């Protein structure tokens, strides 16, 4: 049973989170100030930490930084009322694996926690224990990673509207992905990780998603509009226990991170496959240094 440490000084939020995770059969440990949370994390080695930023004695930023300096490797999710972009950037740069703003949707928090725990479990499996004849295969796949722009901000401003928009987004995504024979590997809140057997299906799927959202947005007020960033890369992936791992997945995610909402960004590998097979224009964005990816990656953009 996974153990979750919640470091939170708001009694109501702390109680709600504790009851939520206990109802999902997690072992829950709670603490209300930064110094105690740091010491407890180092001594008890929880499987995941939910960490507020505004804490007595020691801020969440300092707790996260000191944990990473002490070689704590398990997931840390910041759960805070601080919504400024600079706070998110700082939190992620000093070692947080995720950043969720209050007020939050409990289902989203559970989904993100499960996703990080799954990744943590797979990363802890010794490579020598993963044999080719034991649920382990390598495949050449096209990977599409998509993410809604400003979903956390929308959730903070109007939770019920944000959930409504997420449901609309998911319905559009699922329908078009099925049309192009894609396989949804994982949904993390508003983010989709999808695989395709060929690059053309991936690109046509992504383009159709953006066209559908463009038409949807033209008939909606600004508060109800949905913008999505999409990145696609093709390459060798490792399939293990119905999930995908490897640089191909990481590169697709990083391309999505810098993609323009409403367009589709693809790697040079994808471009080489589709350039003579499509009629729509493709623009070269140039070489980009992507976070945690060795060497520059050439990216192309498809506008819709």
The pLDDT tens digits of the residues spanning 11-50 come to 888 988 999 898 888 999 999 999 999 999 999 999 999 9
With a pLDDT cut of 70, the percent of the chain lying above it is: 94
Q: pLDDT digit string (tens) for 104-115?
A: 888 889 989 998
Per-residue pLDDT averaged across 239-243, rounded?
Answer: 74
The Cα–Cα gap between 235 and 216 comes to 32
Looking at residue 124, what is its pLDDT?
A: 52
Q: pLDDT digit string (tens) for 148-198?
A: 998 878 877 888 888 899 999 999 999 999 999 999 988 877 889 999 999
Across all residues in the chain, what is the average pLDDT? 89
Buried b (16+ CB within 10 A) or exposed e, 59-70: ebbbbbbbbeee
User: For residue 122, what pLDDT band results from cuts at 50, 70 and 90?
Assistant: low
User: For residue 118, what pLDDT band results from cuts at 50, 70 and 90?
Assistant: confident
Specify whether the CB–CB gap between 264 and 232 falls below 8 A: yes
Give the closest residue to 194 by CA, choosing from 149, 152, 248, 151.
Answer: 248
Residue 133 clears pLDDT 60, i.e. is over it: no
Looking at residue 131, what is its pLDDT?
A: 41
Residue 78 clears pLDDT 90, i.e. is over it: yes
Residue 84 clears pLDDT 90, i.e. is over it: no
Query: What phi and psi, each to the nearest 5 degrees, are found at residue 221?
Result: -70, 165
Tokens coding 39: 């010491």
Q: What are the chain's domains?
A: 3-124 (3.40.50.2300), 136-302 (3.30.70.1230)
Angle between helix axes 199-218 and 159-179 (nearest 10 degrees) is 140
Looking at residue 207, what is its pLDDT?
A: 98
> Residue 123: helix, strand or coil by DSSP?
helix
Specify whether the CB–CB gap between 72 and 99 falls below 8 A: no
Looking at residue 130, what is its pLDDT?
A: 39
User: Which one is predicted more confidently, 98 or 157?
Assistant: 98
Residue 288 clears pLDDT 70, i.e. is over it: yes
Strands 48-51 and 27-31: unpaired
50 Cβ contact list (under 8 Å, min separation 6): 4, 5, 6, 7, 8, 17, 77, 79, 109, 113
């Amino acid at each position: 049973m996974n153990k979750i440490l919640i470091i939170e000084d708001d009694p109501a939020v702390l109680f709600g989170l504790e009851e939520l995770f206990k109802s999902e059969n997690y072992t829950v440990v709670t603490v209300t100030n930064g110094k105690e949370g740091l010491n407890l994390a180092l001594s008890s080695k929880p499987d995941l930490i939910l960490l507020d930023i505004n804490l007595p004695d020691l801020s969440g930023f300092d707790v996260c930084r000191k944990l990473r300096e002490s070689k704590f490797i398990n997931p840390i999710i910041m759960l805070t009322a601080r919504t400024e972009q600079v706070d998110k950037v700082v939190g992620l740069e000093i070692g947080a694996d995720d950043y969720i703003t209050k007020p939050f949707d409990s289902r989203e928090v559970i989904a993100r926690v499960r996703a990080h725990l799954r990744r943590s479990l797979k990363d802890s499996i010794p490579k020598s224990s993963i044999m080719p004849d034991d649920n382990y295969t390598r495949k050449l796949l096209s990977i599409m990673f998509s993410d809604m722009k400003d979903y956390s901000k929308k959730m903070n401003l109007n939770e019920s509207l944000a959930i409504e928009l997420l449901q609309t987004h998911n319905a559009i995504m699922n329908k078009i992905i099925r049309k192009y024979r894609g396989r949804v590997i994982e949904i993390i809140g508003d983010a989709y990780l999808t695989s395709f057997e060929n690059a053309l299906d991936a690109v046509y799927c992504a383009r159709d998603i953006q066209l559908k959202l463009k038409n949807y947005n033209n008939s909606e007020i600004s508060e109800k509009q949905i913008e999505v960033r999409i990145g696609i890369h093709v390459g060798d992936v490792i399939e293990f226990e119905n999930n995908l791992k490897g640089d191909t997945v990481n590169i697709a995610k990083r391309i999505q991170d810098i993609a323009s909402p409403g367009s589709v960004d693809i790697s040079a590998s994808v471009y080489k496959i589709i350039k003579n097979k499509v009629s729509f224009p493709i623009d070269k964005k140039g070489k980009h240094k992507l976070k945690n990816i060795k060497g520059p990656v050439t990216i192309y953009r498809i506008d819709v």
